Amino acid sequence: DPGAGVSDFGLDREGLRACYDRVRQTTEALCSPLEVEDYVIQSMPDASPAKWHLAHTSWFFETFVLSSWEGGLAPVDSRYGYLFNSYYNAVGERIARDRRGLLSRPTVAEVYRYRSAVDDRVREFLDRSADDELDRVRAAFILGLNHEQQHQELIVTDVKHGLAANPLKPSYRGEGGERAAAQPSDLASGPPRWVEFPGGVRPIGHDGGRFAFDNEGPRHEQLVPPFALADRPVTNREFLAFLEDGGYDRPQFWLSDGWYARSRNGWTGPLYWEREEGAWRSFTLDGLRPLGPDEPVCHVSFYEADAYARWAGARLATEAEWETAAVLSGAVVDGNFLESARFHPAAVPATTSPGSSKAPSQLFGDVWEWTQSPYTPYRGFKPAAGALGEYNGKFMCNQIILRGGSCASPRSHIRPTYRNFFPPESRWQFTGIRLAKDV
Amino acid sequence: DPGAGVSDFGLDREGLRACYDRVRQTTEALCSPLEVEDYVIQSMPDASPAKWHLAHTSWFFETFVLSSWEGGLAPVDSRYGYLFNSYYNAVGERIARDRRGLLSRPTVAEVYRYRSAVDDRVREFLDRSADDELDRVRAAFILGLNHEQQHQELIVTDVKHGLAANPLKPSYRGEGGERAAAQPSDLASGPPRWVEFPGGVRPIGHDGGRFAFDNEGPRHEQLVPPFALADRPVTNREFLAFLEDGGYDRPQFWLSDGWYARSRNGWTGPLYWEREEGAWRSFTLDGLRPLGPDEPVCHVSFYEADAYARWAGARLATEAEWETAAVLSGAVVDGNFLESARFHPAAVPATTSPGSSKAPSQLFGDVWEWTQSPYTPYRGFKPAAGALGEYNGKFMCNQIILRGGSCASPRSHIRPTYRNFFPPESRWQFTGIRLAKDV
Amino acid sequence: DPGAGVSDFGLDREGLRACYDRVRQTTEALCSPLEVEDYVIQSMPDASPAKWHLAHTSWFFETFVLSSWEGGLAPVDSRYGYLFNSYYNAVGERIARDRRGLLSRPTVAEVYRYRSAVDDRVREFLDRSADDELDRVRAAFILGLNHEQQHQELIVTDVKHGLAANPLKPSYRGEGGERAAAQPSDLASGPPRWVEFPGGVRPIGHDGGRFAFDNEGPRHEQLVPPFALADRPVTNREFLAFLEDGGYDRPQFWLSDGWYARSRNGWTGPLYWEREEGAWRSFTLDGLRPLGPDEPVCHVSFYEADAYARWAGARLATEAEWETAAVLSGAVVDGNFLESARFHPAAVPATTSPGSSKAPSQLFGDVWEWTQSPYTPYRGFKPAAGALGEYNGKFMCNQIILRGGSCASPRSHIRPTYRNFFPPESRWQFTGIRLAKDV
Amino acid sequence: DPGAGVSDFGLDREGLRACYDRVRQTTEALCSPLEVEDYVIQSMPDASPAKWHLAHTSWFFETFVLSSWEGGLAPVDSRYGYLFNSYYNAVGERIARDRRGLLSRPTVAEVYRYRSAVDDRVREFLDRSADDELDRVRAAFILGLNHEQQHQELIVTDVKHGLAANPLKPSYRGEGGERAAAQPSDLASGPPRWVEFPGGVRPIGHDGGRFAFDNEGPRHEQLVPPFALADRPVTNREFLAFLEDGGYDRPQFWLSDGWYARSRNGWTGPLYWEREEGAWRSFTLDGLRPLGPDEPVCHVSFYEADAYARWAGARLATEAEWETAAVLSGAVVDGNFLESARFHPAAVPATTSPGSSKAPSQLFGDVWEWTQSPYTPYRGFKPAAGALGEYNGKFMCNQIILRGGSCASPRSHIRPTYRNFFPPESRWQFTGIRLAKDV
Ligand SMILES: [Fe+3]
Ligand SMILES: [Fe+3]
Ligand SMILES: [Fe+3]
Ligand SMILES: [Fe+3]
């Protein structure tokens, strides 16, 4: 498992090093099919060049792990902080986010040398630091690993967006690189079924012990009324029915801000969908492909997810409902993740028992599921002191919670309590829809 | 009481008519100090010209009450729907919101004639409609009254914004029109005190019976942990301390979106504040006045409210906390409202007993209090069918709840369950801050 | 003649006063059909509210005539400079141009009182100033009169634009106010005929003696090759043929910047044209009217004029050609001007002898004729010292010369040497097309 | 001479091929110091990635030379027309100009293969085409060579802009690559001297015979009054005096549009200038260098050139004056051009005889000299039929003529009649100032 150990606070030096090596190697493996030119471009302000991700994740270890080492280490290149700090005001000034794609230097080779130099230093640190020195940054070290996993997902989504911006519609790994998906089950072609969950005062959030992001805690109680979730995500076939029913032209299904977003952006379908001679295709990391009717619909904004749900007579789940369902159904964090290297959501596989109505399928992997919950702090949440307090807390406004991970998330990175968040207009992540309803 | 009856579903025809007359007259009285020219301007896209408010509230009665009358009534002017529909997609096309200030016609006199024609028709309807006809639109009629009260507040805030845009800094009602505030209490000059409330599963939302907006229901239960509220809103003196402590230049107190809003808009203090020769003044409806140190700080965005709270080591309340406090403390809906005709928040009055630590003062009136709660539907909320379903539901995204009413709200319009909402960047409403904390 | 004397440097005090009174009265007469509300609005940044024009022209006399008077006169209102200075950096700061429509105060009545106060002071100045005092500002006084005439035209065009922005499409002077045009000649319905002019070294520009704007001089020589002008402006019928031939969809006729302007603005025909059920109408100051096929096409940008000319196998004239034609043909400055109060271009009248091929008709009045000449200084041009040097000189970039005056220009304001100028994208002036070609 | 023959219509096949090879090789040599990443970025919409230039110039030969060949040649890649067509509407749709930097593919290696494939075909065409076939495209072939030379200059300016956008301020050819400039003369440190030219009717424009762009003709007569030109361009020392005299803060020197451009863009000095600890430096292709006081000022907009000239009590030349001066002074097209590989303007060299006041120095090379003349067609100019008619003609609006070539222009590309043109706000070309005055 390439991510084994990323949540384990108890690893010894050997274990930390092995885990570090695996995570760092995974990042580079993701980039290995890229041409040098692919590393450079920034196809929109929200996306970053692949080489920026490679460098930024290294800067993270330099800044939050190595720089705390007694005696200290001069930065590999003192100018890199300005280039590769993402948003940490406490660390200093930085280049504007939408200018990351204007930088041809450092070159890709230099960035890899930078990574390598940081790797050497991290290993040296693991070898030579005193125990108390190691313990003092252990949490930041583990955070750095999880942070790098987040950027692994962003590399996938940003590379996809960059290739899609190209009229040549290039494939990420060339012809023949595509991985076949598992045999689909019948579940995807029939109507969704409802899986019911009882209400009650429920513990929500992470209980510590292993690694979790600060925004997953504190664990606390919420009153969750009875509810039901659909047994699988909404499929392309279903979403197409919405589209063909005039869904994109009927304001009654849309939030007001969503309707404006649709109009301003000219949305007539999910991102990456295009119609040619009556047939729908979507752009994937393997190029343009016919739309798979049984695959979960993907690359929809919160607004589209919400409009679809209204059209379907249902609603999105709250994040407390989603977490409750994940916990109560005992769903295992397994499925179509980054490790399967498909980089595309798959129809619910036949290995899923159609008889089981106790557990929703595909809660984990395939597509991030928009909830209806705005991203807010849990009761009692306090950002950490210092720069790492900026990691999550300052973004708790104007964003919506997504749950469950996607086909671009490392499996070891995801938990039932994991809170992802994006602005409601975002579409370039692998974001999909699961319906919910009151019971 | 100018608004008596606006929430009463049981009024007979006589009562409805009296209530209608009072509400309509109040709206016009608010406009009486205006010059014709003041009715026309739109100082920003969020604000509307006063004459637009006068006409739109009339169009509302025409559209949602009169047009349902058996036999029907032709609209007073069939072209007015395009001009005075605010946002009801189900009713039809309309002029772009930011172009309302480009319309010199209909003139102010024509708008008043339009109001008068609608008034005649409403009265005729109240006289002549069959009982079942009346009952069928009774809810819409009551909604129309409450809707007009909302626009009364908007007239105050929009006129203020329009006058403030003028370098001449004109006064709304001329020299000598200002109303003195009551004698302030000592509460405002000392530090705020905390009023504690117990936790528990609490009923939240309106129980029907009398009028409430759809977004105030359904009444449902939430688990509210123990908490404390400050006994009064944050004052100008306190906010000035934040400002002078570099509050506007220290990103650690700000949400990320807030920091961008501050930078993009060049905020260096609340809206309407200006500094001249070392002294702070603020623009009021009575012109530029020295800043009253004991008055509640006003015209701050959610971002500023949130940043202030962090600086002060506290937080904003959730809306469930706020409502719980209002209910448990037995606070009466009274205070500095529209009816006091001050149109400016006042220091907590001496009539407030300083010995009472059981109830926060000024929960109602003076300033709307930003909560930390995004505007979301209550469990089980379903927008009504038809155009009136667009009244509130479609705005449940990217906005923040405010509670308690302001010095520009009609007293009869406000309830403990009342949910006001604005985008976090808004500042032109009378919006202020009350601190909260965990217990 | 309402403008008699505006160019006469030799008027005595009596004559100046009579001329002043006539010009000022004409401005107010143009506004007399307006509702108070019509004076307030600003329908785009390029246009100004009518009351701003009324005040600005008064401020001009205050600033450039009265303030020079020995002993001086305090300004009528010291705050007005900030509001009514248009663009004179040397005079001081001023409100942003696109915020003129946000000002409800001073009211229309106050602006008229301001005008009246300025009038009293100007008359007092004419009565009481010493001869040398009068002579020192004589040129500025005459400039003030001509400046006010320019704003008379702008009042017409800006009021038209404001009314057109209103979905009610109101008429400027109400029903029945329209003035009939003269009987049209056959010239407009047949093809245009070419009037040839010989080449040579030609004197260009104004020779002084009477008033002219600084940009009309110095008079100098240019080498003008032989050329021909069309005998009349392009008509709506002709322009419609261009439109129906796909003129707006064929880039080969357009300058590159023009093609972008067309796309960015969504132009599909001249400003104020609209099609309903197959019939073209245009908005006029008398409301929406069927398009007059023989009327000169109007409200086209330079880009459309240029594209039309290419489509027609011709070109626009240079300003030197236009001036040469006006001088050599002996055309009299007469025709459809502001004084005819039609405020709309008219078909070439039957009183124009169709046998005369010596002189192009309608060189003066009806529509400003786009030339192909960018607005540049004449050889030897030097802006005056001081603020009045900003009058014309600083705009000599990115604008195109127009010649001949329009139906909104005062007749006494126009000369063969008169150089009007607007950016090539402008359409709200009464701008039309006359074809030219090499001989 | 790498450009020998680019203007020669009489070359035989051998000569054409040699000339083609030289021009193509020069382009690639310019790119040879670049990293792959440097080829990809687009630092502003006006600039293009280096690999786009490499491909576009090849597409030009494919489209305008090879595609006319009898029997025809399928394009090397049919998808490249969409990517590498710059602005030829008649040829077809194309990618938006500001998205050229979003394309990672085709890769740099693929672009070089594309170039090579085009080269093979061009050579085959030169070998195998019939004489009449060759003659039919001879003009387009020569145009293709000159077109590629234009893009050589753009590669230099666009690469410079791209490197300058990088906080690392990288050098184009690394440490030690810089070429020393010649020993400067005393001319640059003393005041400029005036060289006078007589007036008269002058022939202006290219007379054919050899290659010239269409916009350089037809040759025609203009009346040029007597004038004087400064004997050298304005230096950094002189421009610094303007700056230190408050030139950027005093609107009286600026055109109105220029003043807005300065404010909107925050200009406080020429592009690439920066001040650190009291010392001015400018970014060059060899990195940040101290400002050379005797070097011609460079990277100024027309607005800054015009403001400087007013401040200095002079003016810019008309293009007719400039051409007259170049012709009458017998200035040879020689100096600091692309071939000197300095890529930076140099102080007037000591080899220039200071005693000679007959001829202005540095008319050619070093910096393009802003004239005061808007870019308009010469009398009788007609764009060619077909796509190549779009080459120059459609840009004759809103641009200003520059003359003389720069340190980034191939020497063989420049002529006394050469008309370069850019919008008045442009600064990223090597643009400078030469003063003129009336005599
Ligand atoms: Fe990061
Ligand atoms: Fe409303
Ligand atoms: Fe003016
Ligand atoms: Fe090109």
Note the pLDDT tens digit of each residue in A149-170.
Answer: 999 999 999 999 999 999 999 9
Q: In 3D, which of C353, C374, C346, C372 has the Cα closest to residue C435?
A: C372
For residues C6 and C412, the answer to whether their CB atoms sit within 8 Å is yes
How far, in Å, is the centroid of ligand 1 from the Cα of A147?
6
The set of residues, in sequence order, having a beta carbon less than 8 Å from that of C94 and lying 6+ positions away, is C81, C82, C83, C85, C86, C87
Q: Which burial class, exposed, middle or buried, applies to A101 when counting CB atoms under 10 A from its CB (0-12, 13-18, 19+)?
A: buried
Contact (CB<8Å) A256/B372: no
Kindly report, residue by residue over C58-88, the tens digit of the pLDDT: 999 999 999 988 766 789 999 999 999 999 9
pTM: 0.97
- From A388's Cα to the closest Cα of chain D, the distance in A is 25
**Mutate which of A105, A155, A288 to disrupt the D interface (most D C-beta within 10 Å)?**
A105
Q: Is A397 on the interface with B (CB under 8 A)?
A: yes
Q: Is D102 on the interface with A (CB under 8 A)?
A: yes
Per-residue pLDDT of chain D (439 residues; tens, 9 = 90+): 888 899 999 999 999 999 999 999 999 999 999 999 999 999 999 999 999 999 999 999 999 999 988 766 789 999 999 999 999 999 999 999 999 999 999 999 999 999 999 999 999 999 999 999 999 999 999 999 999 999 999 999 999 999 999 999 999 998 888 888 778 888 888 899 999 999 999 999 999 999 999 999 999 999 999 999 999 999 999 999 999 999 999 999 999 999 999 999 999 999 999 999 989 999 999 999 999 999 999 999 999 999 999 999 999 999 999 999 999 999 999 999 999 999 999 999 887 655 456 789 999 999 999 999 999 999 999 999 889 999 999 999 999 999 999 999 999 999 999 999 999 999 999 999 999 999 9
The mean-pLDDT minimum among B249-258, B355-364, C11-20, D312-321 falls in B355-364
Contact (CB<8Å) B379/A201: no
Residue A72: count other Cβ atoms within 10 Å of its Cβ. Answer: 9
For residues D215 and D150, the answer to whether their CB atoms sit within 8 Å is no
Q: Is D49 on the interface with A (CB under 8 A)?
A: no
Q: In 3D, which of D373, D357, D369 has the Cα closest to residue D319?
A: D373
Cβ-Cβ contacts under 8 Å, C424 against chain D: 397-398
Task: Give the integer Cα–Cα distance in Å for B13 and B134.
Answer: 9
- From B102's Cα to the closest Cα of chain C, the distance in A is 6
pLDDT score, position B1: 82
Cβ-Cβ contacts under 8 Å, C85 against chain B: none
User: pLDDT-derived band of residue A353, with 50, 70 and 90 as boundaries?
Assistant: low
pLDDT score, position D175: 80
> What's chain C's average pLDDT?
95
Dihedral sign, CA of C265, C271, C273, C274? positive
For residues B40 and C41, the answer to whether their CB atoms sit within 8 Å is yes
For residue C398, the chain D residue with the least C-alpha distance is D398
The encoded tokens of residue B51 equal 């004459």
Contact (CB<8Å) D102/A38: no
Chain centroid to CA A102: 25
Contact (CB<8Å) A394/B254: yes
Kindly report, residue by residue over A64-101, the tens digit of the pLDDT: 999 988 766 789 999 999 999 999 999 999 999 999 99
Strand locations in A130-265 (E): 194-197, 200-204, 220-224, 227-230
The encoded tokens of residue C309 equal 């000319």
C308 membership: H or E segment, kind and range: helix C302-311
Average pLDDT over residues C380-390: 93
pLDDT score, position B353: 56
| Ligand number nearest to the C-alpha of D56 | 4
For residue D90, the chain C residue with the least C-alpha distance is C252
Average pLDDT over residues B277-302: 96
Instruction: Name which of A37, A166, A168 is nearest D108 (Cβ-Cβ).
Output: A37
Q: Which burial class, exposed, middle or buried, applies to B41 when counting CB atoms under 10 A from its CB (0-12, 13-18, 19+)?
A: buried
Please tell me which residue, C185 or B218, carries the higher pLDDT value: B218
Q: Is B354 on the interface with C (CB under 8 A)?
A: no
Cβ-Cβ contacts under 8 Å, C42 against chain B: 102
pLDDT score, position A71: 65
For residue C95, the chain B residue with the least C-alpha distance is B167
> What's chain D's average pLDDT?
95
The mean-pLDDT minimum among A270-274, B277-281, C11-15, D180-184 falls in D180-184
Kindly report, residue by residue over A245-302, the tens digit of the pLDDT: 999 999 999 999 999 999 999 999 999 999 999 899 999 999 999 999 999 999 999 9
For residues A255 and A306, the answer to whether their CB atoms sit within 8 Å is yes
Backbone angles phi, psi at C347, to 5 degrees: -60, 150
| Ligand number nearest to the C-alpha of B55 | 2
For residue C439, the chain D residue with the least C-alpha distance is D380
pLDDT score, position C183: 82
Chain centroid to CA D303: 18
| Ligand number nearest to the C-alpha of A395 | 1
- From D94's Cα to the closest Cα of chain A, the distance in A is 10
- From D222's Cα to the closest Cα of chain C, the distance in A is 6
Q: Which burial class, exposed, middle or buried, applies to C23 when counting CB atoms under 10 A from its CB (0-12, 13-18, 19+)?
A: buried
Please give all residues whose CB falls under 5 A of ion ligand 3, grouped by chain where several chains appear.
C 86
